[in-house]
Structure 1
Amino acid sequence: MAFVLVAGFSTNILFQRSSFASPILYHVHAVAFFGWVVLYLLQTGLVATGSTRLHKQLGWLALAWVPAMVVLGMAITIHVIRAYGGPFFFARDEFLIGNPIGILTFAAIVLWAIRMRRRTDWHSRLMLCAMASITGPGFGRLLPLPLMMPMAWVISAVVFPALFIIAGMWRDKGRVGVIHPAYIWGLALLFGTQIVAEVIAFSPIGRAIGDAVTAGTPGAARPLYADWPRHP
């Protein structure tokens, strides 16, 4: 999961689709989200090496870190939508609604995992599901999404992230013969919340939200639906 995210954003820099000259919001957002990736890898490593005491102490960082990620995730979404309407291979309101619902889903699963911290079988699997749910931006930068319109959002934000949860299910099935319910819940939340996001995005409510957010900004000029850019 970490590799997908690092590879995705590194590819963007390599092909000059992004730049370190971006506004400060992008950098703060990057520090928060990649900081989470580092924390997740560190926590996994501490458990693997038996350093459970330090793992528990560092785990409380999530209570402060996750709300910051939620705020920054929503802030960057609104900034992008207003600046240029979001990536052209996503519908405008699909991006605007799907991103906040996705980050809230991530936060909810993390908080659930913290609550289940004494039941390590649930805790570890829920944390994996939460991490998987935010790999969409990595996949989105690695996959040829313009060729996947109009399903690019679902493919990058749901289908490919779900593969990590399915891999966990497959591992459980092979080792103990049954799939842990935490994975079933995680997969259901990943798909279920994004189905809700799709319904809202393509409804009159979603259109009204999108119009209100982009009013008076360059983002208001882009087409509502995923489409190749048209140049005069």
Structure 2
Amino acid sequence: MTDATTGAPSTGDRPFLRNLITVMAFILVTGFIVQLAMGRSSFNAPLIVHAHAAVFMGWVGIVLTQAWLAGAGSMRLHQQVGKLAAIWALGLLVFGTWITIAAVQTGRTPFFFQPQHFIVANPLSLFAAVGLLAAAVTMRHRPDWHARLQVSSFVLLMGPGFGRLLPMPILPPYAFEIAGLVALVFPLAGIIYDWRAHGRPHPAWFWGIGVLLAVIVVARLAGFSPVGEAVYDAVVAGTPFAATSGLDFPPPPGPPPV
């Protein structure tokens, strides 16, 4: 099959895309391992935290599996796992939004995020990631678009991974934006690869970059608008945080238990 955009065999891109996703998955997993090793995460967390972790780590496993199946040319099995991925993506939306609401309602918003911004930005990133995934599925008969949109979707989920590796406490009030922008290294790597391999970058990378930048801008504008305030007030209504401003940074946690 020939790539209709670049005129190059689409199968030749699979090793690069597989390796790119492998690096992304490694960074995500490493971020959570570092948190656990430093005592910032605990197995004593509420059940919703563990359910959220299982769903999202499961997604990392699915994306990684898909990349390696495609890289090995096992396209029939790749398609079968893709059916599971389509269903699993709904779990990302449900548990990702649920954990965000629960964090704000219980005062567990990371202290370098303002809750009113966090309650808008986090779900917006998830819906954008699933939107790019849906676009990739729609373009599944165009391997060049399909694979790059899949990577771009994964890029939208890299913020939490980088957020556990970057010095987030010194990055407010733009911690969310910085963690997201660092993830641009992956589509930029894709652009450089395409330029060298095919003579020009594939337009799918620019769609992915555009969606990520749109999420950052819209989250900032909406999160600090009356809309963001209304969303925050509705989420914390009836909780001990109903009287607190969603624009106040939460206090940093105390020292980890000895």
- Higher alpha-carbon deviation: 69-78 or 209-218: 209-218
Partner of 1:51: 74
Structure 1 residue 230 displacement after superposition: 10
CA distance in structure 1 between the partners assigned to 2:217 and 2:237 by the alignment: 26
Gaps of 5+ in 2: 1-23
Partner of 2:15: none
CA distance in structure 2 between the partners assigned to 1:179 and 1:3 by the alignment: 25
CA distance in structure 1 between the partners assigned to 2:126 and 2:53 by the alignment: 14
Structure 1 residue 215 displacement after superposition: 2.5
TM-score by length of 2: 0.85
Which of 35, 51, 65 in structure 1 is aligned with 2:88? 65
Letter in 2 for 1:212: A
Question: 1:102 is paired with a residue of what secondary structure?
Answer: helix
Q: Deviations over 1:165-221 (max 9, x none)?
A: 111111111211111011000100011122111111001111121122112324444
Question: 1:60 is paired with a residue of what secondary structure?
Answer: helix
**1:166 and 2:188 aligned:** yes
Partner of 2:36: 13
Inter-CA distance 227–86: structure 2 relative to 1 (3 Å threshold): closer
CA distance in structure 2 between the partners assigned to 1:185 and 1:38 by the alignment: 24
Structure 1 residue 85 displacement after superposition: 5.4
TM-score by length of 1: 0.94
CA distance in structure 2 between the partners assigned to 1:152 and 1:227 by the alignment: 14
Which of 141, 145, 168 in structure 2 is aligned with 1:122? 145
Query: Number of residues paired by the alignment?
Result: 230
Gaps of 5+ in 1: none
Partner of 1:212: 234
- Higher alpha-carbon deviation: 87-96 or 72-81: 87-96
Q: Is the 8 A contact 2:55 2:91 kept in 1?
A: yes
Question: 1:22 is paired with a residue of what secondary structure?
Answer: coil
Letter in 1 for 2:237: A
CA distance in structure 2 between the partners assigned to 1:116 and 1:61 by the alignment: 17
CA distance in structure 2 between the partners assigned to 1:228 and 1:163 by the alignment: 31
Structure 1 residue 136 displacement after superposition: 0.6
Letter in 2 for 1:179: P
Q: Is the 8 A contact 2:52 2:96 kept in 1?
A: yes
Letter in 2 for 1:203: S
Inter-CA distance 22–194: structure 2 relative to 1 (3 Å threshold): same
Inter-CA distance 132–198: structure 2 relative to 1 (3 Å threshold): same
Tell me the C-alpha RMSD between the 2 structures: 1.7
- Higher alpha-carbon deviation: 56-65 or 127-136: 56-65
Inter-CA distance 40–95: structure 2 relative to 1 (3 Å threshold): same
Q: Is the 8 A contact 1:85 1:219 kept in 2?
A: no
CA distance in structure 1 between the partners assigned to 2:55 and 2:201 by the alignment: 32
